[in-house]
């Protein structure tokens, strides 16, 4: 396998080894193997991972060689390993994500479950493991490539460095992200992940108020997202991107459909669940919105999107007229990302709606110190389907002193 994998694939690849059966009963091997197979199947749906096939990784049963030797043999960098111990009516499962190049454990967790339904337990645990592994892996790759000083970075390293810059959200970092993506696209002009992330950089310029022509930026974001989908119609990240771009263009019904499709393609996709929740909140479907946001938080509790998901709960409460709860969640969103100026605008609107104009003015002043919002950009970022809700939002911002 290793001889067939280019260096860039090895960097982005992951192998799931057979989980070790620690039970006295050797017949429990089927559960251990079934769990590992389930993890392979679910990880394979991720748009960011190249997962080594079962027939290759299952050759390494305990006692297996050192992690570095396994990685070299399989042509991979990362390993998922684990154990299963069944005792009576309880099963204990441990799982680890290991960087095989230095044998560092990046993530480890233990799960204890009653064995009421063996297949349901297998499904729950495999889903939890997959939901945890992907974001840890991505953070590791982003950090690794951000520290690289190699002058000839390859496509994958450029893409991961672009992600690292993208999440820092400053104008300089968004520009740096775009520069990395431009180089990556020279190597792979039709890569759907690069096209999709480049689409998001255009949306970020609009959301942040940097776009000289927001309509043109949104047009370009949609063009790139459509191109990403055309290159990989089964790619969940491409459909997620297109859904978000469509929401910027004000087409929420089609945006929601794209996000729902992204979740069909990759049910563990926390980002798509969170964005779907956001658009459902703006559509007035608040109960569904909260369900999807909680699903996203459960799947990826340390996700870079976390502030946005908490923000969605504030929006849902604002729509429902529960302004005290809206203030609570807006505070939480701001605390998680105090560098995101638009969180202060939401906090100001909810505080004004709750009758606390003094605090609303302070929050708005903080937001305006960071960045000013005009009405056009505010509307793009807050696509309320019910125009009266958007008017209520604007009215409360103006109570706080906004002149936009």
Residue 7 in this model has a pLDDT that exceeds 50: no
Does residue 197 or residue 49 have the better pLDDT?
A: 197
pLDDT at residue number 10: 58
Token pair of 22 as six digits: 């620690």
Q: What is the 3-state secondary structure (H, E, C) of the chain?
A: CHHHCCHHHHHHEEEECCCEECCCCHHHHHHHHHHHHHHHHHHCCCCCCEECCHHHHCCCCCCCCCHHHHHHHHCCCEEEEEEEEEECCEEEEEEEEEECCCCEEEEEEEEEEECCCHHHHHHHHHHHHHHHHHHHHHHHHHHHHHCCCCCCCCHHHHHHHHHHHHCCCCHHHHHHHHHHHHHHHHHCCCCHHHHHHHHHHHHHHHHCCCCCCHHHHHHHHHHHHHHHHHHCCCCHHHHHHHHHHHHHCCCHHHHHHHHHHHHHHCCCCHHHHHHHHHHHHHCCCHHHHHHHHHHHHHHCCCCCCHHHHHHHHHHHHHHHCCHHHHHHHHHHHHHHCCCCHHHHHHHHHHHHHCCCHHHHHHHHHHHHHHCCCCHHHHHHHCCCCCHHHHHHHHHHHHHCCCCC
Span 200-253, pLDDT tens digits: 999 999 999 999 999 999 999 999 999 999 999 999 999 999 999 999 999 999
- Domain annotation for the chain: domains and CATH numbers: 2-133 (3.40.50.10610), 155-399 (1.25.40.10)
- Is the pLDDT at 9 greater than 60? The verdict is no
Q: Which residues neighbour 107 within 8 Å (Cβ) at sequence distance 6 or greater?
A: 96, 97, 132, 133, 136
**pLDDT exceeds 50 at position 370:** yes
Res 147: pLDDT: 82
The 10s digit of each residue's pLDDT in 299-314 is: 888 888 999 999 999 9
- On average, the pLDDT of the chain sits at 92
Burial 60-85 (b: 16+ CB within 10 A, else e): beeeeeebeebbeebbbbbbbbbbbb
The token duo for 262 is 């992204």
Query: Which pLDDT belongs to residue 119?
Result: 86
**What does the pLDDT read at residue 302?**
83
The mean per-residue pLDDT over the stretch 252-266 comes to 98
Residue 121 pLDDT exceeds 70:
yes
**315-353 per-position pLDDT tens digit:** 999 999 999 999 999 999 999 999 999 999 999 999 999
| Euclidean distance between CA atoms 97 and 137, whole angstroms | 8
- 314 vs 71 pLDDT, higher one: 314
Whether pLDDT at 390 is above 90: yes
- What is the C-alpha separation between 273 and 309, in angstroms, rounded? 9
Give the whole-number percent of the chain exceeding pLDDT 90: 76
What is the C-alpha separation between 222 and 379, in angstroms, rounded? 18
The reported pLDDT for the residue numbered 28 is 79
Mean pLDDT of the region 249-260: 98
Which residue do the tokens 């002043």 mark? 365
Higher pLDDT, 25 or 303: 303
Q: Mind listing the pLDDT tens digit for each residue in 82-111?
A: 999 988 888 999 999 999 888 899 999 999
Residue 25 has pLDDT above 90, yes or no: no
Q: Is residue 63 predicted with pLDDT exceeding 70?
A: no
% the chain with pLDDT above 70: 96
Residue 30 CB-density burial (10 A; 0-12 exposed, 13-18 middle, 19+ buried): exposed
Residue with tokens 């337990």: 121
Q: What is the pTM for the complete model shown?
A: 0.89
Helix axes 214-231, 192-207, angle to 10 degrees: 160
pLDDT attached to residue 345: 97
pLDDT reading at 6 higher than 70? no
pLDDT at 329: 99
């Amino acid at each position: 396998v290793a001889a067939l994998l280019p260096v860039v694939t090895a960097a982005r690849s992951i192998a799931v080894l057979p989980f070790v059966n620690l039970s006295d009963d050797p017949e429990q091997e089927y559960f251990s193997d079934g769990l590992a197979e389930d993890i392979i199947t679910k990880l394979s749906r991720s748009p960011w991972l190249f997962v080594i096939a079962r027939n290759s990784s299952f050759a390494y049963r305990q006692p297996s060689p050192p992690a570095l030797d396994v990685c070299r043999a399989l042509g991979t960098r990362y390993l998922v390993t684990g154990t299963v111990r069944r005792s009576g009516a309880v099963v204990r499962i441990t799982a680890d994500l290991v960087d095989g190049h230095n044998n560092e454990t990046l993530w480890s967790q233990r799960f204890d479950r009653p064995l009421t339904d063996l297949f349901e337990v297998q499904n729950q645990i495999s889903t939890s493991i997959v939901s945890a592994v992907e974001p840890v892996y991505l953070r590791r790759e982003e950090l690794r490539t951000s520290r690289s000083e190699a002058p000839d970075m390859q496509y994958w390293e450029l893409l991961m460095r672009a992600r690292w810059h993208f999440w820092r959200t400053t104008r300089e970092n968004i520009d740096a992200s775009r520069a990395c993506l431009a180089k990556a696209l020279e190597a792979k002009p039709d890569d759907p992940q690069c096209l999709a992330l480049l689409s998001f950089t255009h949306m970020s310029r609009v959301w942040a108020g940097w776009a000289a022509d927001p309509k043109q930026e949104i047009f370009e974001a949609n063009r790139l997202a459509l191109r990403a989908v055309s290159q990989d119609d089964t790619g969940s990240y491409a459909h997620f991107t297109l859904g978000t771009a469509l929401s910027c263009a004000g087409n929420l019904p089609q945006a929601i459909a794209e996000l729902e499709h992204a979740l069909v393609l990759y049910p563990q996709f926390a980002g798509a669940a969170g964005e779907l929740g956001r658009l459902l909140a703006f559509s007035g479907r608040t109960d569904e919105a909260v369900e999807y946001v909680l699903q996203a938080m459960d799947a990826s509790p340390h996700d870079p999107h976390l502030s946005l998901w908490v923000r969605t709960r504030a929006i849902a409460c604002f729509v429902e007229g529960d302004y005290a709860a809206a203030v609570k969640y807006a505070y939480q969103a701001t605390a998680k990302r105090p560098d995101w100026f638009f969180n202060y605008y939401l906090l100001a609107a909810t505080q004004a709606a709750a009758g606390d104009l003094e605090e609303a003015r302070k929050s708005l002043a903080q937001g305006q110190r960071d960045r000013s919002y005009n009405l056009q950009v505010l509307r793009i970022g807050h696509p309320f389907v019910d125009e009266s809700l958007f008017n209520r939002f604007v009215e409360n911002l103006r109570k706080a002193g906004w002149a936009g």
